[in-house]
């Protein structure tokens, strides 16, 4: 009987010793458990440069009070968009799609040009504009919001 207890407790001690040696050797070698890979698209954080690529449809234009407006209601005076204010009604309306490409070009309606984006600003350069236009920009998943003065342009990724 005592021999069985001795063997059983010896096995437990041996298993504990092996575990301790194994854990010590891993920490001495600098080995650590691998980080789990993201399991869904929601866990992958895209940079603004990656997030903007694709087709974006204008879904609404809103005034500072949140009321939907038409492009003609937005006062573009004093902005670089003033030079195309006559065409703004055709460009800045629901259903118009902008295509942002990974080569930093953008096309919308009959206009095309270049763009730059960082964490909070989208800059557009087009031959039709007197100068580059920098607009405050936020991208949250499939939603983008651009601001012109105190108006908002909401876009949805297609």
Strand locations in the chain, DSSP E? 54-62, 97-100, 105-108, 111-117, 121-125, 133-140, 143-148, 151-157
Given a cut of 60, is residue 148 above it in pLDDT? yes
Q: Assign domain 48-157 to its CATH architecture.
A: Beta Barrel (2.40)
Please write the tens of the pLDDT for every residue from 31-45.
555 565 555 555 678
Given a cut of 50, is residue 101 above it in pLDDT? yes
Dist. CA 123–CA 16, nearest whole Å: 62
pLDDT for res 79: 78
Domain boundaries defined on the chain: 1-33, 48-157
Question: How confident is the model over 129-153, as a mean pLDDT?
Answer: 92
Chain center to CA of 87: 29
**Where do we find the tokens 């001795």?**
6
Q: Do 110 and 101 contact (CB within 8 A), yes or no?
A: no
Please write the tens of the pLDDT for every residue from 51-75.
999 999 999 999 999 999 988 888 8
Please tell me whether residue 81 adopts helix, strand or coil conformation: helix
Dist. CA 104–CA 49, nearest whole Å: 9
Q: Do 54 and 99 contact (CB within 8 A), yes or no?
A: yes
Which of these, 147, 127, 149, lies nearest to 137 by C-alpha position? 147
Dist. CA 137–CA 62, nearest whole Å: 15
For the record, the structure tokens of 24 come out as: 């010590």
């Amino acid at each position: 009987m005592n021999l069985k207890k001795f063997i059983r407790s010896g096995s437990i001690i041996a298993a504990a010793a092996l575990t301790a040696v194994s854990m010590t050797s891993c920490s001495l070698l600098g080995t650590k458990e691998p980080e789990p890979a993201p399991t869904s698209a929601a866990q992958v954080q895209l940079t603004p440069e990656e997030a903007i690529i694709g087709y974006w449809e204008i879904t609404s234009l809103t005034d500072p009070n949140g009321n939907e407006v038409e492009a003609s209601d937005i006062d573009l005076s004093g902005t670089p968009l003033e030079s195309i204010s006559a065409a703004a009604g055709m460009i800045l309306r629901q259903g118009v799609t902008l295509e942002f490409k990974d080569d930093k070009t953008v096309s919308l309606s009959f206009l095309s040009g270049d763009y730059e984006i960082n964490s909070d600003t989208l800059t557009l350069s087009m031959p039709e504009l007197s100068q580059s236009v920098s607009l405050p920009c936020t991208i949250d998943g499939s939603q983008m919001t651009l601001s012109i003065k105190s108006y908002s342009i909401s876009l949805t990724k297609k």
